[in-house]
Structure 1
Amino acid sequence: MGIFSISNASNISQAESLKDSSNWTAVTQFTQPGWRIALWAITYSFIVITSIIGNITIIWIILAHRRMRTATNYFIVNLALSDLLMSAFNTIFNFIYASHNVWYFGEEFCRFQNWFPITAVFVSIYSMTAVAAERYVAIIHPFKPRLSAGSTRVIIGMIWLVAFGLAFPQCFYAEIMTDNGTTKCIVVWPDDVGSKHQLTYHIAVIVLIYLLPLMVMFVAYSIIGITLWSSAVPGNHLNSVRYEHQLNAKKKFVKTMVVVVIIFAVCWLPYHIYFILGSFKEDIYQQKYIQQVYLAVFLLAMSSTMYNPIIYCCLNQRFRSGFKLAFRWCPCIKATEKDKLQPSLTPTTATQNRGVLPMRSKNQCSRPEAVLVSRIPVTLF
């Protein structure tokens, strides 16, 4: 996992015995027509540019507007940052490496590239998990204290520290090797007979950065969904409109995050399967079309970094207005006065602007459902 190399350590160790084989050149040299490399380069460039622009915009929308700086949104900033760094530092260099199966960037950057992808993926998915956990507490246990800004920063810091630790072994054992005159960046596990260490590490990583957090999010969002969709609007007319609006806002948020999680899971599943298969069957890296297979699998995984801003923009009014403000210099995009106000609106103001009566009154506050409604913001982003 991490850096891709069609020739792994065990393949390189067998090089001497295969030099005289007529098909050895075909196995180790991965040349392809210029037009094909150009098509791959254009596709990868599109993903990188879209991801960088989109995630920078998400970070700006949240950090530039005080009312957007909630615990949930700080985790979304962390998610956007990890996706941004993944696009900037992993996608381009891995594409160049996979295109020729030659490492051009030196040993130190080889170690970095074997360390950073796992770190970024871990941060991405655990930021999503933190959002699910925060929403679970806010919706299922509305009377429990909400996360403070300080607690949110601590959790984000812990996510990064654990990510660093999880990625460290692969970084530590990464090194430069020469295979038939070409430079490779690979991970050489010590005394790894039968690639047992490599397989164990890959399985552990997949469980920790894929299966376990997806399971946690599935359970959390299932409980949240059952709770929200089974909720009944109170019969009191004074509260019912506001309660229904808040309920719809929470449902929309859950739908948004479920879409984010599903896309992440789908994009990364073939990538994990690829490396697990490679650990069990090493000659898979010597198949005729393995380079094209990897480029497609890696492209799908890296495309996950560009979808979240698109999802937020399509499904959330505040982010949609924020994007209009960020790109209002573009002739085809016009930001209205409403768009200028959206990211800065408080929940109460947003409700009043929609023609909904304010809910605070002595009679209302004495009712349990009114208290419950008052504890949960109207807008969840």
Structure 2
Amino acid sequence: MNASDKSKFIGNVNEDGYYDTYYYEYNLHYDLQPLAVIPEVHPASKVILCIVYSLMMPICGVGNAMLMYVLLRHRKMRTVPNLLVANLAASDFLVAVFCAPFNLTYYIKQNWAFGEDMCVAAAYIKLVSLYVSTNSLLVIAIDRYIVIVNPLKPRMRAMAACIAIVAIWAISATIVMPTAMFTKTIQFWDNGVMMYYCGEFWKQSDIVALKAYNVFLLIGEYVAPLGLMAFFYTSISRQLWQHRFTPTVVRQPHNVPNCNADSTKKTIRLLVILVVIFALSWLPYYSYTVYRDFFPLLHHDFVHSISIFYVVESIAMSNSMVNTIVYVLLNDNVRRKIRQIPIDFRRLREKRRRQRVVPNIQFIEQPNANQNQT
């Protein structure tokens, strides 16, 4: 009896692992490994993804590390917006250092070789970082809206910003829990070679829940935040460019706000650019998920579905890299502080060298009073 006679049914599969696919589900009477035929990925798609990931790892890793150092090292840089930007940089740094190397190897070889725990961790951290970025951009927009459009209202202080950052990570980590619950690895044979697939596996009975969950993420973490940010920045731009903004200085501990209208306009312009880049980078990815979840048969029958996934994944992941480049290039203060990093480390090294030098102290015995009298 051949393998096809022993299988109960063949599921519909896609690259992300939804709908138990690309393997046979066997009867309990047979202790056999699943068989699979891994779909071909167009070489151009692999080249694009390889280029993006190879650039993203050093740019986001080194760039965001320097950005976080600058924003946290210098007291005058510790404004509320910069604390939130540092949080944004931390999420991008985490993806570049932790997730990108594993995902790049997996996508190129189409074989997960790092174990199930790492499969769950990489998928979970990747999505948590995405929603941390989204929610951080939204909180930044809310803070700027309050300061500029409603300057008489109490503004966010550094402690409130820290609490907001903790809430951002807690909310992002919570809404991604289903990903951790349903992500796993499966093993199967492909042309006589044991392969491992890492992805989300939802039961056929949970397809409605899967669609509802992904619609919730689409609306709650993409459409609604972008709509709110568009409203906030439209109001801010109208207020600034109609010259109705009167900057005020409210000094707070470790938080000296910018009181120059031209500089404020430049900052808002930079933040708007980051939001637009985020929207354009993740639009293809979210569109792909809708197409995949609501048109599974069309997705499965389309030969180039996996190749398209590689391209939209590359575009989405490039957002972190572009964020780093744009923020560093368009922020004069950050560029100036980054150029001072070698000087800071040289001063720190000289300070430690001086501390290691033991001073040569000589003790001279003083004559006592009796000897002086004699």
TM-score of the aligned structures, taking structure 1 as reference length: 0.73
Once the two structures are TM-superposed, the CA of residue 71 in structure 1 deviates from its matched residue by 1.0
* Secondary structure in 2 matching 1:146: coil
| Aligned positions of 1:349-360 closer than 5 A | none
1:224 aligns with 2:236: yes
| Among 188, 205, 224, the residue aligned to 1:212 | 224
Q: Report Cα offsets for 1:263-310 as digits up to 9, x if no partner.
A: 011011111111111112224256433333222211111111112232
When the two structures are aligned, how many residues end up with a matched partner?
307
Q: What is the aligned-residue RMSD (CA, Å)?
A: 2.7
1:322 aligns with 2:331: no
In the alignment, the residues of structure 2 paired with residue 312 and residue 318 of structure 1 have an alpha-carbon distance, to the nearest angstrom, of: 10
| Aligned positions of 1:127-166 closer than 5 A | 127-166=136-175
In the alignment, the residues of structure 2 paired with residue 218 and residue 110 of structure 1 have an alpha-carbon distance, to the nearest angstrom, of: 36
| Aligned positions of 1:54-65 closer than 5 A | 54-65=63-74
Alignment check: 8 A CA contact 2:88 2:132 kept: yes
1:198 aligns with 2:207: no
Once the two structures are TM-superposed, the CA of residue 29 in structure 1 deviates from its matched residue by 4.7
In the alignment, the residues of structure 2 paired with residue 302 and residue 269 of structure 1 have an alpha-carbon distance, to the nearest angstrom, of: 12
In the alignment, the residues of structure 1 paired with residue 68 and residue 269 of structure 2 have an alpha-carbon distance, to the nearest angstrom, of: 21
* Secondary structure in 2 matching 1:130: helix
CA 1:62–1:285 in structure 2 vs 1: closer, same or farther (change >3 Å)? farther
Letter in 2 for 1:101: Q
| Among 51, 63, 83, the residue aligned to 1:74 | 83
Alignment check: 8 A CA contact 2:187 2:195 kept: yes
Letter in 1 for 2:292: G
In the alignment, the residues of structure 1 paired with residue 242 and residue 91 of structure 2 have an alpha-carbon distance, to the nearest angstrom, of: 35
In the alignment, the residues of structure 2 paired with residue 232 and residue 210 of structure 1 have an alpha-carbon distance, to the nearest angstrom, of: 31
Alignment check: 8 A CA contact 1:6 1:286 kept: no
Identity rate of aligned residues, in percent?
A: 26
Match of 2:296 in 1: 282
Alignment check: 8 A CA contact 2:112 2:196 kept: yes
Once the two structures are TM-superposed, the CA of residue 42 in structure 1 deviates from its matched residue by 4.1
Once the two structures are TM-superposed, the CA of residue 318 in structure 1 deviates from its matched residue by 0.6
| Among 160, 168, 177, the residue aligned to 2:177 | 168
| Among 197, 220, 225, the residue aligned to 1:184 | 197
Gaps of 5+ in 2: 1-13, 28-34, 247-258, 345-374
| Aligned positions of 1:117-128 closer than 5 A | 117-128=126-137
In the alignment, the residues of structure 1 paired with residue 110 and residue 40 of structure 2 have an alpha-carbon distance, to the nearest angstrom, of: 7
Letter in 2 for 1:5: E
Once the two structures are TM-superposed, the CA of residue 232 in structure 1 deviates from its matched residue by 5.3
In the alignment, the residues of structure 1 paired with residue 205 and residue 63 of structure 2 have an alpha-carbon distance, to the nearest angstrom, of: 42
In the alignment, the residues of structure 1 paired with residue 245 and residue 198 of structure 2 have an alpha-carbon distance, to the nearest angstrom, of: 60
CA 1:32–1:265 in structure 2 vs 1: closer, same or farther (change >3 Å)? closer
Match of 2:286 in 1: 272
Letter in 2 for 1:261: V
CA 1:269–1:233 in structure 2 vs 1: closer, same or farther (change >3 Å)? closer
CA 1:14–1:281 in structure 2 vs 1: closer, same or farther (change >3 Å)? farther
1:100 aligns with 2:109: yes
CA 1:129–1:190 in structure 2 vs 1: closer, same or farther (change >3 Å)? same
In the alignment, the residues of structure 2 paired with residue 207 and residue 95 of structure 1 have an alpha-carbon distance, to the nearest angstrom, of: 28
Match of 1:342 in 2: none
Q: Report Cα offsets for 1:161-218 as digits up to 9, x if no partner.
A: 111110001101222223444221222224535x222211111112122111111111
Look at both structures and tell me which one has the larger radius of gyration over its CA atoms.
Answer: 2
| Among 275, 280, 292, the residue aligned to 1:261 | 275
| Among 302, 305, 309, the residue aligned to 2:320 | 305
Alignment check: 8 A CA contact 1:82 1:124 kept: yes
In the alignment, the residues of structure 2 paired with residue 307 and residue 13 of structure 1 have an alpha-carbon distance, to the nearest angstrom, of: 38
1:252 aligns with 2:266: yes
CA 1:161–1:263 in structure 2 vs 1: closer, same or farther (change >3 Å)? same
Higher helix share: 1
Alignment check: 8 A CA contact 1:79 1:124 kept: yes
In the alignment, the residues of structure 2 paired with residue 272 and residue 38 of structure 1 have an alpha-carbon distance, to the nearest angstrom, of: 22
Letter in 1 for 2:213: Y
CA 1:43–1:175 in structure 2 vs 1: closer, same or farther (change >3 Å)? closer
In the alignment, the residues of structure 1 paired with residue 323 and residue 303 of structure 2 have an alpha-carbon distance, to the nearest angstrom, of: 35
1:5 aligns with 2:27: no
